[in-house]
Structure 1
Amino acid sequence: MKIDLTQDMIDQGLTCPVGKRKIEYCDAKEVPGLYVLVTSSASANSSYYLRWKQHGKTKHTRIARVTDITLAEARSRALTLRREIATGNLTEEREQKRKQQMTYSDLFEEYVTYKRPFKRSIGKDIQFYNLRIKARFGSRLLSSISRHDLQKFQADLIKEELSEATADLYLRLLKHSMSLAEQWEYIEKSPGKGLKLFNPDNAVENHLSKEELKRLVDVLMSDENRPVCQIVLWLLSTGARLNEALKARWEHIDRNKRQWTIPATNAKSKRSRVVPLNDTAMGILEQLETEGQHETLWVNAKTGKRYTTIQKVWQRLRLKAGLPHFRLHDARHSFAAMVANDGTTSLYAIGTLLGHKSNVSTRRYAKYSSDTLQSISNHASDVIQDAMNGDT
């Protein structure tokens, strides 16, 4: 699609039309052959390319991600490439040779540059690379790494007595980086395709029984550390993540609509969502003394700044309540379990309340609504029994 590309268009985000796998937005006026490739699976990670010809064959050279350089810089690089093409300095043979000489270390450097702006856990990736991947694959040519190599690495991780979940983290990093190498045309096919992960079901979740909830609430209502107690009650009554609560600001609260807006910058899913505030949550707001004095709901009296952690106080509170294994994140699970056991709430609604990106995360709460499922099944049985008895 030929358009007059502008930086504003790039900043606002070019999208792939529904029903298409990819689209090329071509620079109509400035630099012939320059275009932005947008795919349906990763529209936020679009890249600049230069289309050129050699011996009658069309070639595509990737320049950079749209978030890494400006449109003006992309045009400048494209013009430089075109001059190299015109003088014979950029040839298919030279480009092919560069790809053939690329090592995994070279790829990982590009991977980090590509991922750093939007992947919060990039530090973990670098740690995994330095711990084991660098020694195993860093100096290897990309073209020499096979699926068998990845499978052997996977087996060796288990021999080191790493857990299956940890081994999967290493393999996911390798699979994803090699998939990008394929997308960037550094290799013809990623060796990670078809590689099976362990995917262990090791999710740990604790939800409170009525008696345990009573013990915890008694502690939270009576303990002298009111701000931390209020934060935990807020987690129990909203199902929010701890980080979302600690970053909550008064400007995000709408008392009239009884709503709390969690901006995308604070949400794990990177999508803003609106959390309805029930009576318990509204009651907590009434107890707070920070409105009009501080931007955030909870402020540490010692530092005058918002809380960044409450783990030390929480350790004391949970022991006081006789719940040594109950984690702060389990308050979120408990909220979901309480909602699921209501008997009228769909898993979709629970997922929306919790801000889940996928219904896979929500399915775990289906087991808490077994009575509801039994009731539904019994209703079908009643209809069948009526038919068997001749009732209409």
Structure 2
Amino acid sequence: MKAKITRELLRDFQPTDKVIDIADSEVKGFTVRITPSGAKNYGIRYTGKDGRQVRFSLNKNFPTTTVSDAREEARILLGRIAAGADPAEEKKARIRGKLTLFSFINGDYGDHLRAHNRTGEAIIDRLKALFAEYGDRPLTDFDVRLIDKWRAARIKDGRKASTVNRDLNDLKSLFSRAVDWRLIPEHPLLSIKRMDESGGKIVRFLSDSEESRLRLALNEREKRDRDGRTRANAWRATRGYELLPNVEENQFVDHLKPAVLLSLNTGIRQGELLSLRWADIDLDLAILTVRDETAKSNKTRHLPLNDEAKSALVQWKSQHRSTELVFPGRDGSRMTEVKTAWGKLLKKAEIENFRWHDMRHHFASRLVMAGVDLNTVRELLGHSDIKMTLRYAHLAPEHKAAAVQKLMRTAA
């Protein structure tokens, strides 16, 4: 908004849930920013040498600094700008040699990650752990030689190339942001190439025998826990204790079986599964929606529910009508993991080297082996690049056989 900035205006102005910028009608370029918390900070706006609009804070606020004093300081600074100065660039030049990796992570870059990345806090923690020895190093002191040395040490310690590539991508993104914000003149790691990851990835999915054992173990676990609940209540009843909620024959004893059945039949990631809300599921249309804010790709996708997945959700919902989350934790908040119950289930089923995430591979592998084309599999998995889906291509040998068979010529 534009108005003459006065003591009365700022005193009486009520903050809103959005940041408000007031442009002074008396001195062009003089501004006040009012935050939702009620802070009223003086600044200026001007056009930089590259043609971009720049907002520069005077590092003074109302009422500590009077409007007249702030306006006069803004007038002087705007005069310097008219003569060719650029206070924002001057400030950046002063801090370039002092801006260290950790001060950047703990400051503006950390705030940016938390605001724009669903896993921002995890990325911050990982960067701090991975590059702890370089925490006090200025951003301008990083170069290819330094990071090549770090990467070689990681590989020597037994880290996979894919892991090192992922970690390095996080660091490169940090420097890209520093360049975008003109905190450093150039990206020091642009010439570093990704390491070759070929030959290291094996798609793990369940054999028919393993899947049968997994399903049998799920059913046995349900029966065991249901029978255990019945015995416990009989024991409590004879002593006059309060009975535990009864588990009917057509009910799940807990979240594990419906969560496993849903994962096997949709390929949903564990993080997406645990963030799933009943509002994301249309049982009438048999559609499950993974919202962009919970998806790893940050893109919404819609998954059809087959009969088994839909049936499991219908039954599970009848037991949890009052919850917002499909698979809530004990206190109703988001569950963080299912590691303990999952580990015991795999042990009972005698299945080794199979992670929860591998149910996603199992889903994709079964689709490909059933003749579903790779692009459809890509869409169901939410892969942004078909290259990620090509890992399953070898599971469709009949397609390759049919292709080479076309080379056969009809006998004359």
- Which residue does the alignment assign to 1:268? 296
**SS in structure 2 of the partner of residue 326 of structure 1:** coil
Alignment match, 1:117: 115
Amino acid in structure 2 at the alignment position of 1:126: I
Tell whether 2:243 aligns with 1:246: no
In structure 2, how many angstroms separate the alpha carbons of the residues matched to 1:342 and 1:80? 73
1:175 to 2:204 alignment: no
CA RMSD of aligned residues (A): 3.6
Deviations 1:184-203 (A, max 9, x none): 22333211111123253444
Aligned partner of 1:333 among 341, 344, 361: 361
Inter-partner Cα distance in structure 2 for 1:232 and 1:259: 18
Task: Summarize the Cα distance change of 1:162–1:317 in structure 2 as closer, same or farther, 3 Å threshold.
Answer: closer
1 CA distance for matches of 2:312 and 2:161? 42
| Deviation (angstroms), 1:323 | 0.5
Q: Is the 8 A contact 1:84 1:90 kept in 2?
A: no
C-alpha distance in 2, partners of 1:118/1:125?
12
Q: Name the CA shift for 1:362/1:31 in 2 (closer, same or farther; >3 Å).
A: farther
Where do residues 82-97 of structure 1 align in structure 2 (5 Å cutoff)? 84-87=77-80, 90-91=86-87, 94-95=90-91, 97=93
- Tell me the amino acid that sits aligned with residue 366 of structure 1: A
TM-score where L is the length of structure 2: 0.67
Give the aligned partner of residue 189 of structure 1: 186
How do 1:14-53 and structure 2 match up within 5 A?
A: 52=47
Identity of aligned residues (%): 25
State the distance in 2 between where 1:339 and 1:328 align.
18
Task: For residues 297-345 of structure 1, give each alpha carbon's deviation from its aligned partner in whole angstroms, at most 9, with x where no partner exists.
Answer: 3456x656664432211111111111132211111111111111111x2
Match of 1:153 among 113, 128, 150: 150
Letter aligned with residue 77 of structure 2: E
2:386 is paired with a residue whose SS is coil
Distance 1:297 1:145 in 2: 46
Name the CA distance, whole Å, in 1 between partners of 2:52 and 2:193.
32
Contact 1:254-1:260 within 8 A present in 2 as well: yes
Query: Aligned partners of 1:246 and 1:282: how far apart in 2?
Result: 17
Deviation at 1:232, TM superposition (A): 0.6
Whole-Å separation in 2 of the counterparts to 1:305 and 1:134: 33
Q: 2:323 aligns with which of 284, 294, 309?
A: 294
Q: Which moved more, 1:215-224 or 1:205-214?
A: 215-224
Query: In the aligned structure 1, how far is the partner of 2:358 from the partner of 2:160?
Result: 23
How much has 1:133 moved relative to structure 2? 2.7
CA distance in 2, matches of 1:151, 1:245: 38
Which residue identity does 1:293 align to in structure 2? S
Q: What is the aligned partner in structure 2 of residue 130 from structure 1?
A: 128
Q: If you compute each CA radius of gyration, which structure gives the higher value, 1 or 2?
A: 2
Distance 1:62 1:143, change over 3 A: farther
For residue 346 of structure 1, report the CA deviation from its aligned partner. 1.5
Pairing partner for 1:259 from 287, 290, 298: 287
| Structure 1 residue 81: Cα displacement | 7.0
**TM-score, with length taken from structure 1:** 0.70
Q: Per-residue displacement from partner, 1:148-198 (whole Å, max 9, x unpaired)? A: 232233334445555544443443233222222222223332111111232
Query: Given the superposition, is the C-alpha separation of residues 260 and 120 from structure 1 closer, same or farther in structure 2, using an over 3 Å criterion?
Result: closer
Q: Which residue of 2 aligns with 1:18?
A: none
Q: Secondary structure at the match of 1:175?
A: helix
- Counting matched residue pairs gives 326
Q: Distance in 2 between matches of 1:245 and 1:185?
A: 39
Distance 2:127 2:275 in 1: 31
